[in-house]
Chains A and B, each alone.
Chain A
Amino acid sequence: MSGDRQESGVGGAKVARRRTLPSAVGEPMVWLTGSALVLCLLMIVTLATLVVVNGLRTFWPGDIDRVTLESGEVVMGIRTAEDKQGRYLYRVGNRDIGQESFRWIDGDKIAQVEQPEHAVMLEREAWGVWFGMPESVSMEADDGSLVALSEGAAETLDQFALLHPDARAQRAKAESMRKRELGKINHGIEHARLRIAGAEMGVDLRENASDRLGWVSWSAVSVVVVLAGFVWWVGREVGVGIGSSGVRQGKLTRFGCALIVVFGLVGIWVGAPWRTQGVTAAERDVIVAQMEHVQEQLQAEYERVLAEIRMSEEQDSKLRLVVVEPTTDRFAPIAQTRGDEPMMLSQVVRLIPANQLSVVGKTKVFFSRWWEFLSSGPREANTEGGVYPVIVGTVLMTLLLTVFVTPLGVIAALYLREYAKQGFGTSVIRIAVNNLAGVPSIVYGVFGLGFFCYTVGRYVDTGPVAGTSLQSGVWWLMFGAAIVTAIVSFAFGLWGKPDPGSTSTIGNRVLARMSWLGWGVTVVLAVMVLWRTPYFAGFFGARAAEGSPTFGARGLLWASLTLALLTLPVVIVATEEAIAAVPNSMREGSFGCGASKWQTIRRIVLPGALPGILTGAILAMARGAGEVAPLMLVGAVKLNQDLPVSTTAPFLHADRSFMHLGFHIYDLGFQSPDSQAARPMVWTTTLLFLCIVFALNLAAILIRAKLRGRMTGAAI
């Protein structure tokens, strides 16, 4: 072989091959690429480890130290960190008596550290943790004096364990009554008030609705619509004069006609001039009288429930717990302003005698804290308690955004790949869609706030802006024009198609362009007709008039839609790729069987592309779940204990603002009054957020695997 090569040199000259270059030796590149991968993995593993370790550590109860300083001062708390200078950071709590909740203590100045057996850490409803020694459980006598039920630390702890569950249960009951029953009554009263306000507005509406020459224009439009449909239909049957393509697309045409007629009729019905708007003064009086009666009844009910709650709370406040902290010898007060009264037993969420707990006991505390974290609402400006509403908000928003974005993206991609003629136009659209993915997310937030909340939301609340609604005659004219342009565009679109076996002529192309133009005009007209209708005054006008908009403000619906827009490119790109990956032979086979385009798409293309489409949906979901910046503008709030789902109609309250884990983490880390105490919670919340995103993704991946198995596997 080498001889051949030598002889084959140009002109018989020998081509001397040089020795192998160092750059041709592959090994260094193996090492380089390998180490780059290792570095990446290392970073990811470090991140995950950091989050997991820190997140899990938060709820493990540490030992409580009683530190005596050389100055004689005594400090009690949990050591959380130390620095290079030998200083220790102690979490000392007890904020309500004016103490910083964390304190650096110089190691040199410590005289003695001990871990008293009965030292306890209290987690309280308010003001964070309290460290101290339990002294007694007392009962308030009728005369207001306190009678001790226990003496000494050990006995107090026993007594506490005995009385605490009941006290908590009673408090929880009172709280839930306050929230549920009073909430329901309040809602009823508010509803009645809004009915009255609505009735007042209804009178105005009726008085100002003189501009209603609807009938004439309505009749004209309805005749036009019905005639258009009829003419088209007959034209199709006759087949001559209206264009051959109309006949070729027989079924489509029939369907289109029917659709236009139906749309027209629906539009006419919606804008029905025969329906009266508003109420008369007499009707208003009836409504007002009814509602005032309802209000009175509800008010009485309110008083009764409130009295019940008060009694329960009074009972509750009789049991007191005295836990003395060593620095100033003060006990945990019932409130910051009432420092001379010991706290109520029921104010204690959890009492942790950390030093006498075994590992099992600490594990119990650990899990009980996790349970609280996952199942209850936040306390203390989010730094304590749980994140249940936050989880619900996050999951709900993510699911909603997926539900919004997937169909929209898939349909758009289908058009782009299956129907649209590939060319300059589709390329421009693809580039635009890809660019959309690169727009900073906060921009979407601004758009969402401006468009969804303040424009669409306001329209839903109050209808067209006062003064912009059209005269009814003009409105009907535009409505008719919209329908006529729709019909004409549809017809042009059909006639714009070339005859079978021939390439499109100039006439075809002109008609096709006209059709697109016509659809553009139709859309503009339709938006105008919708936007400036004189027949719609909003669904929540009364409430919006008082300055509390329903949909015209930040909320779950708008947040989901904003994020749907943000993740749309992901779905479109993934779906397009999946559709393109379906072999053309499948489509040909289907067409060869006499399937229509849509049947081919529905039965062959979509099932084949389904795994890819679901991958797109998963990616969109992951992206949407992790997005925080736009949410700050369009719906996520620091605290909203009202979940966006409930057992009362309409069950899904898409108008409500919600809590979101991403925003919650930001809020904990940087916006809380005691950010040092909140730091462990930041880690835990981050861990939870990661887990939820993973769980959502995993669920989606499992569904995809199942579907993929069904598409290709043996069992169908």
Chain B
Amino acid sequence: MIEAMSEKRSSTKSAVEVKAPEAPASTAPSPVVPGGMGGEPAHYDVIDAIRRGESVEPTVHESMSEADAVIQSDDFKLWYGDSQAIHGISMGVPRGAVTALIGPSGCGKSTFLRSINRMNDLVEGVRVEGGITLNGSPVYEPTVDVIELRKRLGMVFQKPNPFPMSIFENVVYPLRIDGERRKSVLQEACERSLKSAALWDEVKDRLKESALGLSGGQQQRLCIARAVVADPEVLLLDEPCSALDPVATIRIEELISEISERYTVLIVTHNMQQAARVSDYTAFMYLGRLVEYGPTGDIFQNPKLIETAHYVSGRFG
């Protein structure tokens, strides 16, 4: 399965050219908008409906239903106080692949990501409806221990946030809080995860030095190493490159491709090229709703909605 995935990814990567597919309205299937095919130009039917606050059925490519979902959300809704940020998202995140969430600012992609490991619990006044399951076990159930849940997921944030400790301590932090004290185990885990974060060669001689002395890109790779040290079921990346320079960004992207051979990755990005480069599947979100979801190649080159086509080519959003 994984092999098949990586094979497919390599083909997608080479194939994807980020340029606007000149998709005429006629080739795209008609958007599912109740009463949306009026006299108005058909261009942004779905988007307009969403803007009007109407419920829209997402366009999910057929191949998605075949995939084995590690995370499955079922009509998931989320409110910050009185304002609704997510309007019923139902989607599955395929196992062993990289799935990207794209969409304009404020479309709820980060919120959705943070709902999976319940980081939104930290925000005052958050309310959810519907459910998310992680490998079949529910995320929003009263019986779920949120600490245990977060231990099953690794998370990397927008800004690199290494702790003010040594590099070594940063990497083994998740093990430390689980009470692991055996030096050999910690060292082994530290080396393994630093290697998988492609940071080992750069820091192996200064593991005892403060992590704050690393460059931004190194810090972010350190955060990735920290996220994978405890073998998470899914790795959640929340715009991991938005605070980095282009060179560091490329390294992180390469790293994501490498790491996805071992882990399922869900990445939020507002950089379309990045989504095209690193992901196997792409979900386009708009104002808290899923608009189109399918294999990255299709989304970027042969999307079913004109909105998606225009968004990924930068004409809109």
Contacts and interface: CB of A to CB of B under 8 A. Distances in A.
B122 A594 contact: no
Nearest to B159: A585
Nearest to B160: A585
B121 interface: yes
Interface stretch (B9-17, B33-41, B125-133, B252-260): B125-133
A714 interface: yes
B251 interface: no
B146 interface: yes
A415 to B, nearest CB: 17
Contact of B164 (A248, A499, A711): A711
Most buried by B among A594, A608, A711: A594
Contacts of B210: 712-714, 716
Nearest to A248: B142
B242 to A, nearest CB: 13
Contacts of A712: 164, 210, 212
Contacts of B166: 716
B223 A589 contact: yes
Interface string A475-507: 000000000000000000000000111110000
Interface stretch (A452-460, A534-542, A595-603): A595-603
Interface string B141-167: 111111110110111010101111110
A589 B141 CA distance: 23
B119 interface: yes
Interface stretch (B169-177, B262-270, B283-291, B306-314): B169-177
Nearest to B122: A591
Given A593-B174, A599-B177, A501 B121 contact: yes
Interface in A593-623: 593-596, 599, 603-604, 607-608
Contacts of B212: 712
A298 B240 CA distance: 82
B304 interface: no
B110 interface: no
A297 B227 CA distance: 75
Interface string B205-232: 0001110110000000001001100100
B276 to A, nearest CB: 27
Interface stretch (A131-139, A201-209, A239-247, A688-696): A239-247
B143 A239 contact: yes
A592 B142 contact: no
Given A502-B128, A607-B164, A711-B164, A591 B143 contact: no
A158 interface: no
A583 B161 CA distance: 9
A592 B119 contact: yes
Interface in B4-32: none
B150 A591 contact: yes
Nearest to B149: A594
Contacts of A586: 161, 163-164
A587 B155 CA distance: 13
A244 B141 CA distance: 9
B140 interface: yes
Contacts of A715: 208-209
A248 B150 contact: no
Interface in B97-140: 117-122, 124-129, 140
Given A594-B174, A716-B169, A244 B150 contact: no
A375 B283 CA distance: 80
Contacts of B147: 594-596
Contact of B209 (A239, A593, A594, A716): A716
Contacts of B223: 589
A588 B209 contact: no
Contact of B143 (A248, A590, A596, A603): A248
Nearest to B209: A714
B150 A589 contact: no
A507 B84 CA distance: 24
Interface in A691-715: 711-715
Contacts of B163: 586, 589-590, 603-604
B143 A501 contact: no
A72 interface: no
Contacts of B119: 588, 591-592
A440 interface: no
B261 to A, nearest CB: 23
Contacts of A583: 161
A247 to B, nearest CB: 5
A594 B121 contact: no
A564 to B, nearest CB: 30
A589 B117 CA distance: 12
Given A244-B142, A247-B143, A586-B163, A593 B226 contact: yes
A183 interface: no
Nearest to B229: A593
A496 to B, nearest CB: 14
A250 interface: yes
Nearest to B128: A501
B143 A594 contact: no
A632 to B, nearest CB: 45
Given A607-B164, A711-B164, A716-B209, A500 B144 contact: yes
Interface string A349-362: 00000000000000
B117 A500 contact: no
Interface string A623-658: 000000000000000000000000000000000000
A596 B303 CA distance: 43
Most buried by A among B118, B150, B164, B165: B164
Contacts of B143: 239, 244, 247-248
Nearest to A587: B122
A17 B146 CA distance: 64
B165 A589 contact: no
Nearest to A503: B127
Interface string A557-593: 0000000000000000000000000010111111111
Given A500-B121, A501-B128, A716-B165, A594 B142 contact: no
Contacts of A239: 143
A595 B127 CA distance: 22
Contacts of A713: 210
A714 B164 CA distance: 10
Contacts of A603: 163, 173, 176-177
Contacts of A592: 117, 119, 150, 153-155, 157, 227
7 contacts: A500-B141, A586-B163, A589-B226, A592-B119, A592-B150, A603-B177, A716-B210
Which 6 pairs, one residue from A and one from B, show the smallest C-beta to C-beta distance? A501-B128, A594-B151, A244-B142, A592-B155, A585-B161, A594-B150
Given A500-B142, A501-B128, A603-B176, 10 more contacts: A239-B143, A248-B142, A248-B143, A248-B144, A501-B78, A591-B150, A592-B154, A594-B147, A711-B164, A714-B210
Interface of B: 78, 117-122, 124-129, 140-148, 150-151, 153-155, 157, 159, 161-166, 169, 173-174, 176-178, 208-210, 212-213, 223, 226-227, 230
